[in-house]
Amino acid sequence: MTAGILRVVVLDPKLAPLRAEFEAALPDGASVSWPDPQDTEAVEAALKTADVLVSGQCTGRMAALAPGLRLVHTAGAGTDRIDTASLAPGTQVANTFHHEDSIAEYAVSAAILLRRGFLRQHEALRHGRWDSPAYDPGSPWVDTLGAATVGFVGFGHIGARCWQRFRAFGARGVAVTRRGGVDAAAEGLAWSGTIDDLGSLLEGSDVVVVSAPLTSGTRGLIGAAELSRMRSTAVLVNVGRGPVVDEDALYRALSDRAIGGAALDVWYRYPVDGHSAAPAEHPFGTLDNVLMTPHSSGVTRQTFARRADDIAANIRRLAAGEPLHNVVAVAR
């Protein structure tokens, strides 16, 4: 690295709206480039002199083009697209979070939307029909969130923050995790357990919030047998990863009305380029008991403003020779 100059390359387009604030928070003397991620020539030219790469991806080729890299920092939690093995020895890989508040807001609002029947009422009123027992005795009565038991499949920083928000409405909470160990009393939960207790959670919950990560052990964790144990009025909110819930089984359960509904923010397919792609093999969009969102539950200005602050703070630490925060790997 040239003395006094720290070269930072930013390839994450979600930070572009925060460019001025991000650059102002960097250490004196830092040089920042924002090449178009789609412009291969510009990206490769910038990488050749980069000390810091801010990106959700660093392939083997990118690493080879950037022999001077000291830090690869993602603007999110995931580092699975960083080829750590290809980085020069000593290169640190760090991540950042801050999406839990926005995701919790999404989980609560989606649960209310589905549980209160607002999607159905919205569509009915667009056609002049007042779908409420106050006007139509045949319309179903709905329940408040405060009357619900909310079951959490996964209780990390996202699940725990979701529970704080649900708890404010007076809901009852239960949780299962892969290893157990959640202190139910300390968290204000009715009970907590391991994945072995998943069936009991599903049977007793009115809202099921899935925030478990996708691993070989959680893929298809909730399948046909598990969905059959849910209440016919229960709603599922998936903010973890799509394949934690089996796609075929979920579509059947929703289309057959075996469960009340689902809010799906994470999917089975994603765009490869651009912003167009069917999110699943099955046509979930034809179902009126599904809220579909494009993995946007954590995407708010506040989420990325805090992430930008974290990244800039780590770059300042790097420049000062101080230990970095949120380091998830160091190239060997």
Query: Which CATH number is 14's domain given?
Result: 3.40.50.720
What is the model's pLDDT at position 273? 82
Q: Is residue 1 part of a domain?
A: no
pLDDT by residue (tens digit) across 238-265?
999 999 999 999 999 999 999 999 999 9
- Whether the CA torsion 218, 224, 226, 231 is positive or negative: it is positive
Q: Are residues 283 and 141 in the same domain?
A: yes
Q: Is residue 14 part of a domain?
A: yes
pLDDT by residue (tens digit) across 117-150?
999 999 999 999 999 999 999 999 999 999 999 9
Longest dimension (CA), the chain: 77
Residue 96 has pLDDT above 80, yes or no: yes
Q: Are residues 45 and 114 in the same domain?
A: no
Q: Are residues 121 and 245 in the same domain?
A: yes
Mean pLDDT, residues 188-215:
97
pLDDT by residue (tens digit) across 23-58?
999 999 999 999 999 999 999 999 999 999 999 999
Q: Is residue 262 part of a domain?
A: yes
Q: Are residues 86 and 167 in the same domain?
A: no
Q: Are residues 135 and 28 in the same domain?
A: no
Q: Are residues 64 and 131 in the same domain?
A: no
Q: Is residue 320 part of a domain?
A: yes
What is the model's pLDDT at position 1? 40
- Domain of 80 in residue numbering reads as 6-98+301-330
What is the model's pLDDT at position 150? 99
Q: Are residues 143 and 185 in the same domain?
A: yes
Mean pLDDT, residues 277-289:
97
Q: Are residues 119 and 85 in the same domain?
A: no
pTM of the full predicted structure? Answer: 0.91
C-alpha angle 150/234/180, rounded to 5°?
40
Q: Are residues 282 and 226 in the same domain?
A: yes
Q: What is the chain's mean pLDDT, rounded?
A: 96
Q: Is residue 144 part of a domain?
A: yes
Q: Are residues 73 and 10 in the same domain?
A: yes
Q: Is residue 25 part of a domain?
A: yes
Q: Is residue 288 part of a domain?
A: yes
Q: How many domains does the chain divide into?
A: 2
What is the model's pLDDT at position 4? 60
Q: Is residue 243 part of a domain?
A: yes
Q: Are residues 214 and 238 in the same domain?
A: yes
